[in-house]
């Protein structure tokens, strides 16, 4: 069983997230992609974030019709600040059946990996799939990771992957990166502009029905 873990604030989830998750699933033959909304995001503390329940419900509505996509509320259940290292450890230790885990991140997020708790340990515990975007394709590990860490990775040009000392790999993959961000969606809603086709219709309806993102 190969599972992708896709963490995010998802405030709200949008077509950019969904399209990339679908392409990653297909490309890596993943059995499942698990969307994991962050309960308390350590790197976005100064931002006003919608309540967890709204964000999780929107993820569920967005993925409802895809049997290979699932939602996990582990970060809400665990409480406290949401750290990826704890989430990955949970999936490795506490979810029955040993499985290969692929942590899915956008390149912007991966460039800040050194700010993540126990990031070196995290890279050793699961594979990383870094979704690159046009014009922002740094696939040169030493420019992202400290030299001593990058030196532990070996690049295989046949499989286009960097394999680290524990056998886990980092993959940079160019996907159909839709230039959509949750920030832009929230800004549009505040200005009472349309967000149709930027999010799934069910998410659009949920936002309107619950009056989300109306005030700054
Ligand atoms: P915000 O604008 O509020 O910062 P966001 O749109 O970047 O939000 P997040 O929930 O913070 O969304 O992102 C979750 C993950 O999805 C991160 O790894 C991020 O890099 C990635 N991501 C963000 N936007 C896109 C996109 N358009 N396509 C693919 N992945 C994306």
List the domain boundaries for the chain: 2-179
Q: What class, spelled out in words, does domain 2-179 have in CATH?
A: alpha beta
Please tell me the residue having the least CA distance from ligand 1 atom 27.
16
Q: Is 170 helix (H, G, I), strand (E, B) or coil?
A: strand
CA dihedral sign of residues 46, 15, 206, 53: negative
- Closest ligand 1 atom to Cα of 177: 28
Please tell me the residue having the least CA distance from ligand 1 atom 6.
181
Is residue 108 within 6 Å of ligand 1 at its C-beta? yes
Which pLDDT tens digits describe the chain residue by residue (216 residues)? 899 999 999 999 999 999 999 999 999 999 999 999 999 877 666 568 999 999 999 999 999 999 999 999 999 998 888 899 999 999 998 776 667 999 999 988 999 999 999 999 999 999 999 998 776 666 678 888 999 999 999 999 999 999 999 999 999 999 988 989 999 999 999 999 999 999 999 999 999 999 999 876
- Closest ligand 1 atom to Cα of 109: 20
pLDDT of residue 13: 98
Rounded Cα–Cα distance for residues 174 and 188 (Å) = 27
121 contact partners, CB below 8 Å, separation of at least 6 = 85
Q: Is the bond into 145 cis (omega within 30 degrees of 0)?
A: no
Is residue 175 within 6 Å of ligand 1 at its C-beta? no
Please tell me the residue having the least CA distance from ligand 1 atom 28.
16
Is residue 9 within 6 Å of ligand 1 at its C-beta? yes
Are 166 and 121 in contact by the 8 Å Cβ rule? The answer is: no
Sheet hosting strand 154-156, strand order edge to edge: 69-71, 32-37, 2-8, 100-106, 127-132, 169-174, 161-163, 154-156
pLDDT of residue 46: 59
pLDDT of residue 132: 86
Which of 78, 90, 33, 80 is CA-nearest to residue 59?
33
φ/ψ (deg, to 5) at 97 = 75, 120
Query: Residue 128 is inside which H or E element, if any?
Result: strand 127-132
pLDDT of residue 134: 73
Tokens 């665990």 — which residue?
78
Q: How far is the CA of 94 from the centre of ligand 1 (A)?
A: 27
CA dihedral sign of residues 70, 22, 126, 52: negative
- How many residues in the chain? 216
Rounded Cα–Cα distance for residues 120 and 138 (Å) = 19
pLDDT of residue 199: 98
136 contact partners, CB below 8 Å, separation of at least 6 = 107, 108
Rounded Cα–Cα distance for residues 36 and 77 (Å) = 11
pTM of the predicted protein model: 0.94
């Amino acid at each position: 069983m190969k599972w992708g873990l896709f963490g995010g604030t998802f405030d709200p989830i949008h077509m950019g997230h969904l399209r990339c998750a679908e392409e990653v699933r297909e490309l890596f033959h993943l059995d499942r992609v698990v969307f994991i909304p962050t309960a308390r995001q350590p790197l976005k503390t100064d931002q006003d974030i919608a309540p967890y329940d709204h964000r999780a419900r929107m993820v569920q509505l967005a993925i409802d019709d895809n049997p290979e996509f699932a939602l996990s509320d582990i970060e809400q259940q665990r409480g406290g600040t949401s750290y990826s290292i704890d989430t990955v450890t949970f999936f490795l230790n506490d979810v029955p059946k040993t499985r290969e885990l692929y942590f899915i991140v956008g390149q912007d997020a991966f460039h800040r990996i050194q700010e993540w708790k126990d990031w070196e340990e995290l890279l050793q515990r699961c594979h990383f799939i870094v979704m690159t975007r046009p014009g922002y394709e740094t696939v040169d590990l030493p420019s992202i990771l400290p030299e001593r860490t990058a030196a532990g990775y070996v690049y295989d040009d046949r499989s286009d992957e960097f394999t680290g000392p524990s056998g886990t790999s980092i993959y940079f993959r160019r996907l159909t990166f839709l230039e959509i961000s949750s920030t832009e969606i929230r800004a549009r809603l505040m200005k009472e502009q349309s967000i149709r086709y930027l999010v799934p219709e069910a998410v659009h309806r949920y936002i309107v029905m619950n009056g989300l993102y109306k005030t700054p």
